[in-house]
Amino acid sequence: MPELVFIGLGLYDEKDISQKGLEIAKECDILFAEFYTSKLSEGSLNKLQEIIGKEVTVLNREEFEAGKVILEKAKESKVGILIVGDPMTATTHVSLRLDAEREGIITRIVHGASIFTATSGLLGLQSYKFGRVTTLGFPRENFLPRSPYQVIEDNLAHNLHTLILLDIDAENNRYMSAREALNLLLELEELEGGEVISEDMLLAVVGNAGSDDPAVSAGYLKDLLEEEFPEGLYSLVIPSELHYMEAEALVELAGASRDIIKE
Amino acid sequence: MPELVFIGLGLYDEKDISQKGLEIAKECDILFAEFYTSKLSEGSLNKLQEIIGKEVTVLNREEFEAGKVILEKAKESKVGILIVGDPMTATTHVSLRLDAEREGIITRIVHGASIFTATSGLLGLQSYKFGRVTTLGFPRENFLPRSPYQVIEDNLAHNLHTLILLDIDAENNRYMSAREALNLLLELEELEGGEVISEDMLLAVVGNAGSDDPAVSAGYLKDLLEEEFPEGLYSLVIPSELHYMEAEALVELAGASRDIIKE
């Protein structure tokens, strides 16, 4: 039956898809994937194609956003779109789903694990203490988007943690590193001239969530700048005031100095 | 090797566990589960035991919070704990993990899909427009916790959506229904005497996320009160100002009246 299914791949590699997602992917006549909002680790797509037993056509941003290829196929076949994380966190997925529904195509979502909850989970921070999420973008043509600064400031003012997702430059196959992100935060502070970000601020870094060996580190910004992190996909957290157990978690699970508990 | 693995089961049934989670569960010597922070649908645990090929011991709240049984076993065997959603969203999971680490037990998390992202995804609302999450608790001994009201008020003041999780009464095997929740919100409004919740307020309801047929509905509170929703696990969203595409999504995907776009 013609249908368009958004299948979440989860966080890291070919094994993070759910049983349900795998079953439905196998039933699909045609499989697409988009890897410009997020990516699986190196080599995972090939393994995933083997497990599913079908070829996956990876669409670039323009092809995906136009959506034409997908919608044409979904009018006559069962089409699956593989998306890293939990589908529909990007506007472009919602837009495609709406276009499909308007053309009378049945749509469905198969959920996957998302960086939105994985980051706080790995750090042991409490999910209900997070405020609004923000994405730190690569500076483009010397313009550095300032909205993350406002989000962080606002969250801190309300005693809420901030999850900061880091940009992906899909065209150049480049992820923003933790160090780049930390430096951008300092740059934003200088541009804004506020008192939000400082070198003595406690921060947490999470990389390669979902892998066997995620990078999880918490400490003062100046110390994190000196750390060497393995390559991969990173996110940051700027914690507000910590509950006792959260502080303990950052010490025990993320290597923060015990100082943070006495503060 | 002795180890304690927190394995996310995802949202709804035995098929929402990831390939990775299933593989690791099979490798475990002992499997526990807790179903008091959230639950799988009826019958799913039996099917999951069949798929894994191992018996799962379900712990109640006291056993889980004490953690003793789990830690003793994890000192000498590979122990898995099955948890609905993405593990570590509940404080009690973090607490157990810290206890394990302090006793020198290696711990690991296998992520799963979570209601935190599934709800916004199913509704087509943008995840970065959500503020703090809150849980609406059952009134206990005539006391109705008021914090959800403050969270909603605060989020609306900052033009952010609020995800409201609904309480589970695990002891009596009872979920809070959407209707109960809507009535509690009106009750909170009366107690607080503010101007946050009203019968003419736009709201969204999501139930049985992750199933083949999730309940997804958006409309004015007074109209949602008249709707009959199937049994299951529900959450609500109180949207703030909607982007055009979000409003379209609530109309197309959640049956809201087209009025909401003109407002």
Q: Is B217 exposed, middle or buried (0-12, 13-18, 19+ CB in 10 A)?
A: buried
pLDDT of A6 strictly over 70:
yes
CA distance A167 to A206: 14
Nearest CA distance, A29 vs chain B (angstrom): 19
Q: How many helices (H) and strands (E) does chain B have?
A: 11, 12
Between B21 and B1, whose confidence is greater? B21
Helix (H, G, I), strand (E, B) or coil at A108: strand
Distance CA A19, CA A17 (A): 7
Rounded (5°) CA angle B26-A53-B24: 15
**Banded pLDDT at B263 (limits 50, 70, 90):** low
Interface contact flag, A252 B98, Cβ < 8 Å: yes
Residue B262 has pLDDT above 80, yes or no: no
Q: If you measure CA to CA, which chain B residue comes closest to A95?
A: B245
pLDDT at B91 over 70: yes
Which candidate in A40, A88, A150 is best for mutational testing of the B interface (most B CBs within 10 A)?
Answer: A88
Give yes or no for a contact between B6 and B110, defined as CB atoms under 8 angstroms apart: yes
pLDDT digit string, tens, across residues B47-81: 999 999 999 999 999 999 999 999 999 999 999 99
Instruction: Determine the pLDDT at residue B236.
Output: 98
Least CB–CB distance from A132: residue in B121, B131, B248? B131
Length of chain B, please? 263
Q: Which residues of B touch A97 (CB under 8 A)?
A: 124, 249, 253
The predicted model gives B214-222 an average pLDDT of 98
A89 contacts B111? CB cut-off 8 A: no
Cα B184 from Cα B248, distance rounded (Å): 28
- How would residue A136 be classed by pLDDT, with cut points 50, 70 and 90? very high
Buried b (16+ CB within 10 A) or exposed e, B135-153: bbbbeeeeeebeebbebbb
Q: Report how far residue A110's alpha carbon sits from residue A160's, in angstroms, rounded to the nearest whole number.
A: 30
Look at residue A145 and tell me whether its pLDDT is greater than 90: no
Residues B22-50, mean pLDDT to the nearest whole number: 95
**B80 compared with A174, residue with greater pLDDT:** B80
Distance CA B149, CA B197 (A): 9
Point out the residue among B85, B133, B212 whose CB comes nearest to the CB of A128. B133
In 3-state terms chain B splits into helix, strand, coil percentages (rounded to 5) of 40, 25, 40
**Longest CA span, chain A:** 63
What mean pLDDT is predicted for residues B2-9?
97
ipTM of the complex as predicted: 0.96
Q: Do residues A250 and A260 touch, judged by C-beta distance below 8 A?
A: yes
Task: Give the mean model confidence (pLDDT) for residues A1-24.
Answer: 97
Predicted local confidence at residue A48, as pLDDT: 97
In angstroms, the Cα distances linking B178 to A259, B80, B134, B182, B254 are 45, 33, 15, 6, 15
| pTM (two decimals) | 0.96
